[in-house]
Amino acid sequence: MLLRRSLADTSVAEILVTPGFYLGFAFYAASFLTFLLSLRRFEVLTVYPVFTGLAYASVTVAAVWFLGEHLTTLRVAGIVLVGAGVALLVR
């Protein structure tokens, strides 16, 4: 999200000095490490859907907050269905 917001008419060199680029990278690394640590304790069939569902919902909320994208009823229904599917898999 932070990277996309900073891409408007900028070069690669300018992106590399943007704090948002490094913040986005830090969040990505933290997510990956959390995923790996979760695999040590839980099954892949549980961890992967949970992380995928959380990522989908998080990206949608961040797109609305940071990028001003519109959240339609259909998108909200999709997030709810993904959440319901994750809840069924975790049981």
Tally of domains in the chain: 1
Please write the tens of the pLDDT for every residue from 25-81.
898 899 999 999 999 999 998 899 889 888 888 888 888 988 889 999 998 999 899
| pLDDT computed for residue 6 by the predictor | 55
| pLDDT computed for residue 7 by the predictor | 62
Name the residue range of residue 27's domain: 2-90
Whole-angstrom CA distances from 44 to 49, 53, 59, 82, 90 are 8, 14, 22, 17, 11
Mean pLDDT of 10-23: 82
Higher-confidence residue of 20 and 30: namely: 30
